[in-house]
Amino acid sequence: MTTVKVPEKLQTLRGFKVSKILNDGKDSSSFGNVVALLGTFPGLMEEEEEESVVLKLSRPPIPLDDLDQLADAITLYERMPYSGMEYGYYHGVVNNSSETFFAPYVSVDVLYPGCLKDESKEAKAKLLAKHISRNQAQRPVIFRENPKTYENAHLPYIEAIPSSAIGWVHKILNKEKELERLLFDDDDVNDGFLLNTDPKWTTHPDPKTTPKEQWMNHPSTRELYCLGLCHRKDVRSLRDLRAAHLPMLRAMAKKGREVIKNTYGLANESLRIFVHYPPQFYHFHVHFTNVSVEHGVSAERAHLLDDVIENIERDSEHYAKRSITCRMGENDELWRRFKELDDKAGAEAADDDAR
Amino acid sequence: MTTVKVPEKLQTLRGFKVSKILNDGKDSSSFGNVVALLGTFPGLMEEEEEESVVLKLSRPPIPLDDLDQLADAITLYERMPYSGMEYGYYHGVVNNSSETFFAPYVSVDVLYPGCLKDESKEAKAKLLAKHISRNQAQRPVIFRENPKTYENAHLPYIEAIPSSAIGWVHKILNKEKELERLLFDDDDVNDGFLLNTDPKWTTHPDPKTTPKEQWMNHPSTRELYCLGLCHRKDVRSLRDLRAAHLPMLRAMAKKGREVIKNTYGLANESLRIFVHYPPQFYHFHVHFTNVSVEHGVSAERAHLLDDVIENIERDSEHYAKRSITCRMGENDELWRRFKELDDKAGAEAADDDAR
């Protein structure tokens, strides 16, 4: 028996020394809420290899039981580069003094349109509504869309969106915007596409001030997020893709991988290329992310570009004929339209039964 | 102008009253690290509707800069129902006293095989290795598997797994295990399947002591996770599915939805049904989760059952012929085999070029 110094039961971890961080919690799947360490109790055992311990740290969601205390514990700072008066947008930290002990390490964003002196009542109300809807947890729902429900619910929904909603896309394609984020551009009207660093990639070094050589193998490539926009304007989404688009799709896959490898050093094995359906805007685009990025990639939203290409190679009409599952928020207009159609179909079926 | 009492700039949130929790952070996508509140500053403005504020609370990952302090701040408890001496498995909380202030609210699991008095050195080393590998962050990698790489790398990998690895599946199918979790069983040898509450669904009320009526509309259905196991033993994974399996697959989709609706009250619009490829074990099974569950559902791992059925309806050989993207950890044996094959193919191509 080697366990001469081990206590009957451990009471504390006094003397524990960290030898390795097994998981620093920075992978997006645990959001920093789980951390794992390997360590030892030097001198506790006779044989060194028996001293090893795995420690797992975890924590519950931000506590919401003392909300009124919270207000007193916050010091506010204006958020740069936004002016607090213009946007009503502040950043705050919770003071860790003993009287106001509440949720330390928590930081606070304050979105306060009411303090905008020069805005109209309507403008302020609109701003508030926008912030509420953006920050409200929405129950996700799914709907299995077939070609008929696409035509009768989804297509009218798309056609009701003002064309100005994708004005920003055209500005990027015309290189009036985000030039500092440009990674690749082939402006062929049929098969061309442009590849950009997506502004969603918030850990990316400032593209205006950081030379491109420093983008290579940057630690932030763990959160890599790039966006490919096609130049042709007649493809709204996955549903519109046909064999004629294969050269463009293949170029996006091949050239996209190449450019990302040459710019960021990210290997193919770490790169996920996919499209959303329904997309967030109806000008065909492709997402390129590190496989570690876990947000927005669930199977009922994300379609791997390699699968899309093989599906169309096999049958040009694949996306015209097939059912596609759609994920939305329960407050989304598209969900309202799907449900309306479903209710009508149900009522008609009941009518038929009654006859 | 109505802004008589608004200060030039906000300094604190003193007087802020919470009127609504917009997002309680309990959806699995933010892991409780983002919370959003709607509130007011009563009396600050003349018009009530201008008093509204949106507050967003967020926090960084568990800090790892003071690791040695951590050990001193922890009090340990044995984890029930496990015995601390048998498993070396403790649970701890960080003391929030002012001297040992470190990462409050963080809880700690201690996996300490070295303290097992009656185990052999080998057994302890094996336990430690298991805990390390389970808790180590692994870089995820993807590989595009075609029928040839399936046959030459994946299939030999499957065949090397001892059949005892799925002994627990057979015990469930024979109803020797987890009977309290049984939701449905049709033991037809061709098309039958069994539906269970998955033990991964940790927030489920204790199935041994909670009557089934109380499962209906239980708040934990937000994390709903059920598992469908087919009775036939000759389907290892998605790759083996053919038209002959359509009756079974359709039953899993239809009956699964029905049983989950009747047991938990979860509507179709909230239910995601999918299979993993590669699966975690090679006896064909189907996952049923609330759409809100975001873990393990990324597009390069999860295949919606509705899509699987339509693919096979169109072509019985779909999953025999197609390429399928596989996601693994970089330390996984399967990845090692894929890479080995890739390197060999690369070397042979180079040989051909040289000739």
pLDDT 10s per residue in chain A (355 long)?
Answer: 333 344 445 666 777 788 888 887 766 456 667 778 888 877 666 666 667 778 777 776 676 766 666 666 666 766 554 433 344 556 666 655 444 344 455 667 777 777 666 777 887 777 777 778 777 778 999 999 999 999 999 999 999 998 888 999 999 999 999 999 999 999 999 999 999 999 889 889 999 999 999 999 999 999 999 999 999 999 999 999 999 999 999 999 999 999 999 999 999 999 999 999 999 999 999 999 999 998 899 999 999 999 999 999 999 999 999 999 999 999 899 999 999 998 888 887 777 666 5
What are the C-alpha distances in Å from A74 to residues A83, A108, A110, B60, B186?
19, 8, 11, 17, 58
Residue of B nearest to A112 (CA): B53
Among residues B37, B58, B79, which one ends one of the domains?
B58
Option in B9, B11, B115 nearest A10 (CB)? B115
By DSSP bridging, strand A140-145 and strand A324-329 are: antiparallel
Q: Which of residues 206-265 of A touch B (CB under 8 A)?
A: none
Which of A1, A2, A10 to probe by mutation at the B interface, max B CB count within 10 Å?
A10
Distance CA A155, CA A254 (A): 31
Q: Do B201 and B191 form a contact (C-beta atoms < 8 A)? A: no
C-alpha closest to that of A55 among B80, B67, B329, B123: B67
Residues in chain A: 355
Q: Give yes or no: residues B152 and B292 share one domain.
A: yes
Place of tokens 């994946």: B154
pLDDT at A32: 63
Q: Is there a single domain that holds both residue B23 and residue B157?
A: no
- pLDDT at position A34 is 76
**Given A84, A115, A135, which residue is the final one in a domain?**
A135
- To probe the interface with A, which of B19, B20, B26, B31 has the most A CB atoms within 10 Å? B31
For the stretch B56-112, pLDDT in tens is 777 766 767 666 666 666 667 665 544 444 445 566 666 554 443 444 556 677 777
What integer pLDDT is reported at residue A17 of this predicted model? 81
Enumerate the active-site residues of B.
285
Contacts B265 to A, Cβ<8 Å: none
φ/ψ (deg, to 5) at B23? -150, 115
Q: How far is CA A331 from the centre of its chain?
A: 19
User: Are A298 and A194 part of one and the same domain?
Assistant: yes
Rounded Cα distance between A120 and A114, Å, is 10
CA distance A168 to chain B (A): 27
Which residues of chain B register pLDDT less than 50? 1-8, 28, 81-87, 97-103
Please indicate, yes or no, if residue A236 is contained in any of the structural domains. Answer: yes
Structural domain including A284 reads 140-339
- Report yes or no: A304 at the B interface, CB cutoff 8 Å: yes
* Statement to judge: residues A96 and A113 lie in one domain: yes
Reading phi first (left if > 0) and then psi (alpha if -120 to 50, else beta), residue A158 is in alpha
How many angstroms separate the CA of residue A211 from the nearest CA in chain B?
27
Find chain B residues with C-beta within 8 A of A132's C-beta: 22, 38, 54
Residue type, A214: Q
Q: Is A285 a catalytic residue?
A: yes
Rounded distance between C-alpha atoms, residue B119 and residue B317, angstroms: 51
Q: How far apart are CA B201 and CA B223, in angstroms?
A: 7
Minimum-distance CB partner of B292 among A85, A125, A140? A140
Decide if B11 touches A, using CB distance below 8 A: yes
Q: Residue A124 is encoded by which pair of tokens?
A: 């302020």
In a domain, A352, yes or no: no
Q: Which residue carries 């033990």 as its tokens?
A: B199
Tokens at B91, concatenated: 């649970």
- Per the domain annotation, does A251 fall within a domain? yes
A109 contact residues in B (CB cutoff 8 A): 55-56, 58
Q: How far is CA B211 from CA A99, B180, B214, B263, in A?
A: 45, 10, 6, 11
How far from each other are the two terminal CA atoms of chain B, in whole angstroms? 86
Do A124 and A262 reside in the same domain of the chain?
Answer: no
Tell me the C-alpha distance between B94 and B68, whole Å.
13
Contact B62 A57 (CB under 8 A): yes
For residue A110, give the nearest of B55, B68, B306 by CB distance. Answer: B55
Residue A274 resides in a domain: yes
B150 and B111 within one domain: no
Residue A58 DSSP class:
E
What is the distance between the alpha carbons of residues A117 and A112, in angstroms, rounded to a whole number? 11
Q: Report the C-alpha dihedral over residues A207, A212, A217, A223, rounded to 10 degrees.
A: 20
B226 with B201: CB under 8 angstroms?
yes
Give yes or no: residues A49 and A163 share one domain. Answer: no
Nearest chain A alpha carbon to B300 = A304
Q: How far is A163 from chain B (nearest CA, A)?
A: 30
Q: Does A12 touch chain B (CB under 8 A)?
A: yes
Chain B residues with CB under 8 Å of A27 CB are 137
Please tell me what DSSP assigns to residue B82.
Answer: S
Which of residues 314 through 333 in chain B touch A, CB cutoff 8 A?
A: 322-323, 325, 327
CATH code, domain with A322: 3.30.428.10
A273 within 8 A of A297, measured Cβ to Cβ:
no
Separation in Å, CA of B175 to nearest CA in chain A: 32
- From chain B residues 150-179, the ones with a CB under 8 A of any chain A CB are none
Q: Sheet of A107-111: strands edge to edge?
A: A74-78, A89-94, A107-111, B52-58, B34-40, B17-23
Given the residues A285, A295, A303, A318, select the one marked as catalytic: A285
The verdict on a CB contact (< 8 Å) between B21 and A78 is no
Local structure of A208: helix, strand or coil: coil
Residue A30: per-residue pLDDT:
61
| Chain A residues within an 8 Å CB radius of B306 | 144, 323, 325
- Determine whether the interchain pair A3/B32 forms a contact, defined as Cβ–Cβ distance below 8 Å: no
Which of B307, B308, B321 best tests the A interface by mutation, with the highest count of A CBs <10 A?
A: B307
3-state secondary structure of B9: coil
The span from the CA of B85 to the CA of A174, in Å, is: 68
Please report the residues numbered 43 through 72 in chain A whose beta carbons come closer than 8 angstroms to any beta carbon of chain B.
44-45, 47, 49-64, 67-68, 70-72
Assign B255 to helix, strand or coil: helix
Q: What value, to the nearest 5°, has the Cα angle with vertex B189 and ends B178 and B253?
A: 70
Domain final residue pick, A110, A135, A160: A135
A174 falls within a domain: yes
Spacing of C-alpha A285 from chain mean position: 15
Q: Residue written as tokens 């007011």?
A: B40
CA dihedral A210, A215, A217, A221 (to 10 degrees): 100
Q: Which chain B residue lies closest to A315 (C-alpha atoms)?
A: B314
Look at residue B163 and tell me if it is in a domain: yes
Q: Would you say residue A144 lies in a domain? A: yes
Q: Would you state the structure tokens that stand for residue A313, as one six-digit string?
A: 């190679």
Q: Do B121 and B227 fall within a single domain?
A: no
* Residue B134, CA distances (Å) to A22, A219, A239, B89, B350 in order: 10, 24, 41, 15, 38
Of A62, A114, A302, the CB nearest to B51: A114
Distance (Å) from the C-alpha of residue B199 to the closest C-alpha of chain A? 20
A93 touches chain B (CB under 8 A): no
To the nearest whole Å, the CA of A192 is away from the closest chain B CA by 25
- Cα separations (Å) of A354 from A347, A348, A349, B110? 11, 10, 9, 66
* pLDDT score, position B89: 57
| B123 and B173 in a common domain | no
Same-domain pairing of A175 and A190: yes
Cα separation, A252 vs A230, in Å, equals 9
CA angle B77, B82, B83 (to 5 degrees): 70
Pairing type for strands A52-58 and A89-94 reads unpaired
> Do the domain assignments include residue B2?
no
Smallest Cβ–Cβ distance between B117 and the set A3, A70, A325 belongs to A3
Q: How big is the A-B interface in CB pairs under 8 Å?
A: 338
B102 and B172 share one domain: no
* Number of domains composing chain B: 3
Q: How far apart are CA A111 and CA A168, in angstroms?
A: 24
Q: Does the beta carbon of B32 lie under 8 angstroms from any beta carbon of chain A?
A: yes
Query: Do A200 and A267 reside in the same domain of the chain?
Result: yes
